[in-house]
């Protein structure tokens, strides 16, 4: 496909994005720069294989501890308001983690409309 046609098509899709989204569709480019893979590269075997999640330590006992002991302890302290930058669940979890770990510093920045937080331990 020629570059000129490709650019025109890209502009058309971008200008119609709001219309597609209103109809419940997300149209994204199928290229290296987007994290959504092209559907023709997805095979049935991809979904039949259980990933080893190499490099992730799920630490299930610690997750259960937070769910059963930590989060309920702080759940009623604050009533969170709707915020487009962070979900209610994320806000409640962040609040509980800050209260539980009592960090010396809380570094907060808004990046790409998402709240990014780093807890610095008090030790």
Residue spans per domain, the chain:
3-48, 60-120
pLDDT tens per residue across span 29-68: 777 777 888 888 888 888 888 888 888 999 999 999 999 9
Q: Does the pLDDT of residue 110 top 70, yes or no?
A: no
Q: pTM, whole model, 2 decimals?
A: 0.51
Q: Does the pLDDT of residue 84 top 80, yes or no?
A: no
Identify the pLDDT of residue 118.
Answer: 46
Higher pLDDT, 25 or 120: 25
Q: Does the pLDDT of residue 99 top 60, yes or no?
A: yes
CB 75 within 8 A of CB 89: no
Residue ranges of alpha helices (H) inside the chain are 3-15, 17-22, 44-48, 60-65, 71-74, 88-101
**What is the pLDDT confidence band of residue 111, given thresholds at 50, 70 and 90?**
low
Mean per-residue pLDDT for 88-98?
90
Q: Does the pLDDT of residue 11 top 80, yes or no?
A: yes
Q: Does the pLDDT of residue 82 top 90, yes or no?
A: no
Question: What contacts 64, CB < 8 A, 6 or more positions away?
Answer: none
């Amino acid at each position: 496909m020629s570059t000129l046609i490709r650019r025109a098509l890209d502009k058309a899709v971008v200008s119609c994005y709001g219309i597609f989204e209103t109809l419940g569709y997300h149209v994204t480019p199928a290229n290296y720069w987007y994290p959504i893979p092209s559907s023709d590269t997805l095979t049935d075997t991809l979904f039949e294989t259980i990933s080893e999640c190499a490099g992730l330590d799920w630490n299930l006992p610690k997750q259960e501890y937070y769910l059963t002991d930590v989060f309920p302890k702080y759940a009623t302290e604050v009533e969170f308001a709707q915020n487009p930058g962070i979900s209610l669940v994320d806000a409640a979890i962040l609040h509980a983690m800050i209260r539980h770990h009592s960090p010396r510093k809380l570094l907060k920045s808004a990046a790409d409309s998402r709240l990014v937080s780093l807890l610095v331990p008090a030790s």
